[in-house]
Amino acid sequence: MSSSHYEYSLKHMGNLMGSRRPKARDDGEQSLIGHPSRDSATGGDLLDQDAPTTGFVYLLSFFSALGGFLFGYDTGVVSGAMLLLKKEMNLSNLWQELLVSSTVGAAALSSLGGGSLNGWLGRRICIILASFIFTVGGIVLSIAPDKEVLLVGRIIVGFGIGIASMTVPVYIAEVSPPQQRGQLVTINSLFITGGQLIASVIDGAFSYMSHDGWRYMLGLSIIPAALQFIGFFFLPESPRWLIQKGRSQEAREALSRIRGGQSIDSEYDTIKTSIEEEEKEAGGGGLVILRILRHGPTRRALIVGCGLQMFQQLSGINTVMYYSATILQMAGVRDDKLAIWLAAATSATNFVFTFVGVWLVERVGRRKLTLGSLIGTGLSLALLAVGFLLSAMNSPPVTLHPVGSQNSTCNLYSTCEFCMLDPACGFCYRDNGTTVYNASCVPVNQKSTDHASWGRCSNQTEATDSLFWAYNYCPTAYSWIVLMGLLLYLACFAPGMGPMPWTVNSEIYPLWARSTGNACSAGVNWIFNVLVSLTFLHVAEFLTYYGAFFMYTGLVVLALLFVQGCLPETQGLQLEEIENLFTGQLCSCGVSSPSVNRHIHYIRRGSEFSPAQYGAVDSDNAIAYITVSTVSRC
């Protein structure tokens, strides 16, 4: 991005000076401008970057991030629940995809509408509303008598997820001090992965129930939802939203409470002045989305924000999270319980490595963390693809071709790989521990995929003579490669591409566009989430499993090019400053200097520039005009 120039007249700088003016007269210009090393380290913030973060901010972040926990739990729990549901309710591939993607589709719709709700009701009320919806959805899921009611419950939960997913990062970003904003917003992603981990453990624990274990899996989300619902009645609204709505006294009280009694005058005045300037620049009334698209910096920010969310999903994360247990079965893990516990291991990896992101985000910055994450994600997806490719190349042959009245296409397949890819067929075989033998491809029972429709594998219980029935997977010696690929994928994805799209989107929009910008980007995330989750099993059927993961690898390469060219660094900047990163040409990061130096020029009274050009200044001030020139932070 080319160099951009920020001009602050003394009218706008006066509030930042406040009580520092007398000191400025004594100490000269350096008091205003600050130590050079400090400016370069903080991006030139004129507010106190070293003020301690109060415990109340962490409390706010915790209760807010419970929305992230519910987001993670309700999207993660379906992985293990689906293995039980598809047997108890005899779910086809289509119904499995519907139960997964219906939640995501509802989340996409509610996140798009969440922008208007946030602007109208505020962040606090929207989080309370989301937790109430989560509670209702959990009750419906726990008592669902059939798959149709189950679908309704998943849709209700999806509405709550959508509102929470776009509101929580915005709320945390708006109440956080700049020097810890990245870490605190990333805590939301930590809670998301923590929710997925707890969901996997719950899945494993209730998988031993012979009947209705899935009800507990899906219904336990009521507990954190109720905790958040009650907690937020005692927490304040975002001061920035209150200022925007003209509720100045409430805003001062909320900001003072959040900052723990620290002096808030400078911060309050900066926020208020910035909001007034943003409203003028944005062109007044009209639909916010149209104002965003008309205003160059916000339009560019929206493209970057939506692009990050799109590539987060196209890199296949929710394929891995929703179908992790199924993927492990596809890779040859026979036992449902073992597949569920191995899926819990992948969720644990996701959770642990999100801590790495929390630790690194304010040390290396958003941009470098995202780039490194994408490189590792692409390599691990390639490893997953290779694992499935090796399994396919060494697929056990079909050696028996029994004749039956229903045996049509299944009898034509020569290997387990082709038999597995046909949803109407399953693989019946014997295994002595080292070799697969006496294998046949026969039709699956239409009422339950747990056994064949006829023949030696038609009994639901496994025989004692080493006879096995495999549906949707093949016995293979390469399961460990797929498991290693899953773990490596999550270890690379969790620190960067997991939290950074949400963190960056919570920062890059001015206040008047923040709710709508986050709603649009979250909507894009959920739309592509629907696209990926609804099509994965069918894509795997048509491209094969290794083909699907090679496709995701190619999409990650595109994401890497996008981030390299388009994502600027927002580390350490005030929310009110970040819009200026998008004043230059879009996606020119790859051709500009990575320098973050800021050059400050000032003009004293009595110079050749008159007050008519720059505005009159009172006698207490020595500097009439300041220009801050900042090279793009790419």
CA distances from residue 324 to 333, 352, 492, 536 in whole angstroms, order as listed: 12, 17, 16, 12
Q: What pLDDT does residue 153 have?
A: 92
Lowest mean pLDDT of 112-121, 484-493, 497-506, 556-565, name the range: 112-121
Q: Are 138 and 157 in contact (CB under 8 A)?
A: yes
Strands across the sheet with 467-470, in order? 436-443, 425-431, 467-470
Q: What pLDDT does residue 132 have?
A: 95
Of 462 and 312, more confident: 312
Amino acid at 261: G
Q: CB-based burial of residue 4 (10 Å sphere; 0-12 exposed, 13-18 middle, 19+ buried)?
A: middle
Q: Per-residue pLDDT for 627 more than 70?
A: no
pLDDT in tens, 87-144: 788 777 778 878 877 887 888 888 888 888 888 899 999 999 999 999 999 999 989 9
pLDDT in tens, 371-417: 999 999 999 999 989 988 888 888 899 998 887 666 568 888 889 88
pLDDT in tens, 181-200: 888 888 888 898 889 889 88
Lowest mean pLDDT of 150-159, 473-482, 584-593, name the range: 584-593
pLDDT in tens, 1-34: 444 444 433 344 444 444 444 433 344 333 333 3
3-class secondary-structure state, position 627? strand
Q: Per-residue confidence at 624, pLDDT binned at 50, 70, 90?
A: very low
Confidence (pTM): 0.68
pLDDT in tens, 560-605: 999 998 999 888 777 767 878 888 877 766 544 344 444 444 444 4
Q: What pLDDT does residue 285 have?
A: 61
| Pairing between β-strand 425-431 and β-strand 467-470 as defined by DSSP bridges | antiparallel
Q: Per-residue confidence at 495, pLDDT binned at 50, 70, 90?
A: very high
- With tokens 């047997």, the residue in question is 87
Lowest mean pLDDT of 75-89, 235-249, 541-555, 603-617, name the range: 603-617
The average pLDDT across 513-541 equals 84
The average pLDDT across 532-546 equals 80
Q: Per-residue pLDDT for 431 more than 60?
A: yes
Average predicted confidence (pLDDT) for the chain: 78
Q: Per-residue confidence at 40, pLDDT binned at 50, 70, 90?
A: very low
Q: CB-based burial of residue 631 (10 Å sphere; 0-12 exposed, 13-18 middle, 19+ buried)?
A: middle
pLDDT in tens, 307-352: 999 999 999 887 776 666 666 666 656 666 777 777 778 778 888 8
**Cα–Cα distance between 186 and 498 in angstroms, integer?**
9
Q: What pLDDT does residue 13 have?
A: 42
CA nearest neighbour of 131 among 157, 170, 166: 157
Of 611 and 572, more confident: 572
Q: Are 376 and 491 in contact (CB under 8 A)?
A: yes
- Long-range contacts: 48-55, Cβ < 8 Å, 24+? 48/266, 49/178, 49/179, 49/572, 50/179, 51/177, 51/259, 51/262, 53/176, 53/177, 53/179, 53/180, 54/258, 54/259, 54/260, 54/262, 55/260
Q: What pLDDT does residue 424 have?
A: 85
Q: What pLDDT does residue 34 have?
A: 38
The average pLDDT across 66-79 equals 84
pLDDT in tens, 193-233: 889 889 888 888 887 877 888 888 888 989 999 999 999 99
pLDDT in tens, 223-279: 999 999 999 999 999 998 998 888 989 999 988 888 887 778 888 888 888 777 777
Q: What pLDDT does residue 391 have?
A: 83
